[in-house]
Amino acid sequence: MMNSFKEHIYVTRPLLPNLDKVASRMRDIWESKWITNTGYQHKELEKQLKEFLNVEQLSLFNNGTSALILGLKALEIKGEVITTPFTFPATLQALDWNGLTPVFCDIDENLLNIDPNKIEQLITEKTSAILGVHVFGNPCDVERIQYIANQYGLKVIYDGAHAFGTEYAGRPIGSFGDMTMYSFHATKLFNTVEGGALAFKGDLLKGKLDLLKNFGIAGPEEVVLSGLNAKMNEIQAAIGLEVLKLVEEERERREKIKEVYEKNLDGIEGIRIVTQLKGMSNSYQYFVIEIDEERYGKSRDWVHEELKKYNVFTRKYFYPLCSDFKWYQHLDSSQASNLPIAKKAAKRVLAMPFYGELLEEHVESICHLLVNFSCLSELAI
């Protein structure tokens, strides 16, 4: 039996900047005594990220969820929104906070994103938008989705929480649709500890979003919109400015780790790499596999539990499906017959450890375990 790893190996680890450089920014913030409400660090990060992501407009938020909540509000989305059940709860909860009804659409078998072939049949007179998620940083079929939206006069919003740096046909992912949300949570490729942003077009929307995230306050004696407190503070922004310097190098390291996984998992019967994109861009946010129990010989749940014995902590992103949450179970679109691919994927997906500091020999050992699990009896592993 292979030895366990000495230390816990997690699905991800935060990209942490040099502490002295952060301390130096903290000193500046302390001296200025300006610690939140759109100070220097905030303005600088917004400017740098706008350039980095190559988008027309960008607005920073205290996390991705509040960004999406206010993004939907700013676009004045009403009624029903067609979306995917195969996502993190926040996508759906942003709809809930806006009083919107989700209509669940099945996903495509390959990238596990909303399936454009199944959107049209779900459109009713109440539909106002399509909310796609670039799951694991793999881009949705943005062209087909936009085509459908144009036919029916629908808005298109993307949850790009995983898609920092993803491109589609050479264009930045944040330039598609009416709006794209990014998450800068600690577990994301680029982080501000907690944080998020919206990418969109037009000065009008920028003005509206900047108001919405600051209680709708237009001046000392003027409140013009019902908003929220969803501002990114100076400490978050300062950390983000230092993390941003490290992102490209981190992506390169992750690319190498991805190659080690791909080489060692190649040809294992019943394992499919979801984040292996031929000729397409990915953010290197996650490395995700699908385990087909019949062909592999063990279930995803079995592998998830067994790896823990070796101190390897994978995650079942995304299980359970959002359509299975009890407050959505009554919806017609939540029924299993509407979501066969999503149901299957939720039982098969496993996010593997994936971050720049992960040692290549550890990746090889994890792959070795996956090979052994499939072909040996439990005693021999």
Binding flag, residue 352, ligand T4K (CB under 6 A): no
Dihedral angle at the C-alpha atoms of 285, 95, 167, 212, nearest 10 degrees?
Answer: -100
Nearer to ligand T4K, 60 or 291 (CB): 60
User: In the complex, what is the shortest distance from the CB of residue 191 to ligand T4K, in angstroms, rounded to a whole number?
Assistant: 9
C-alpha–C-alpha distance, residues 299 and 290, integer Å: 10
320 touching ligand T4K, by CB under 6 A = no
Tokens 């983000």, located at residue? 240
Shorter beta-carbon distance to ligand T4K: residue 318 or 373: 318
Judged by beta carbon, residue 172 or residue 353, the one nearer ligand T4K is: 353
Task: Count Cβ neighbours within 10 Å for each residue of 259-275 and write b for 16 or more, e otherwise.
Answer: ebbeebbeebebbbbbb
313 binds ligand T4K (CB under 6 A): yes
- At its nearest, how many Å lie between ligand T4K and the CB of residue 283? 12
Beta bridge partners of 271: 291
d(CA 191, CA 355): 13
Distance in angstroms (rounded) separating the CA atoms of residues 345 and 352 = 15
Confirm or reject binding of residue 183 to ligand T4K (CB under 6 A).
yes
Give, as ranges, the residues between 72 and 91 that touch ligand T4K (CB under 6 A): 87-88, 90-91
Q: Which is nearer to ligand T4K, 114 or 268 (CB)?
A: 114
Which segment (11-19, 40-48, 120-128, 275-283) binds ligand T4K by CB under 6 A?
Answer: 11-19
Q: Give the whole-angstrom CA distance, residue 196 versus residue 183.
A: 4
Distance (Å, whole) CA 169 – CA 281: 8
Binding letters toward ligand T4K, positions 270-309, x by CB under 6 A: ----------------------------------------
When the beta carbons of 87 and 138 are compared against ligand T4K, the nearer one is 87
CB of 202 vs ligand T4K, minimal distance in Å: 24
Q: In the chain, what is the straight-line distance between the N-terminal and C-terminal CA atoms, in Å? A: 5
**Could you say which of 13, 316, 344, 362 contacts ligand T4K (CB under 6 A)?**
13
Contacting residue, 9, 12, 112, 291, with ligand T4K by CB under 6 A: 12
- Distance, CA of 127 to CA of 276 (rounded, Å): 33
Query: In degrees rounded to 5, what are phi and psi of residue 49?
Result: -70, -35
CA–CA distances in Å: residue 145 to residues 125, 152, 179, 312: 18, 11, 13, 38
78 burial type by CB count under 10 A (0-12 exposed, 13-18 middle, 19+ buried): middle
Complex with ligand T4K: residue 116 or 132, whichever CB lies closer: 132
Interacting stretch for ligand T4K, rule CB under 6 A, among 10-18, 78-86, 114-122, 249-257?
A: 10-18
**Interface residues for ligand T4K in 117-136 (CB under 6 A)?**
133
Number of residues forming the site for ligand T4K (CB under 6 A): 24
Both structure tokens of 350? 């496993």
* Position with the least CB separation from ligand T4K: 64
- Which residues of this chain interact with ligand T4K, rule CB under 6 A? 10-14, 63-65, 87-88, 90-91, 133, 159, 161-162, 183, 185-187, 196, 313, 315, 317
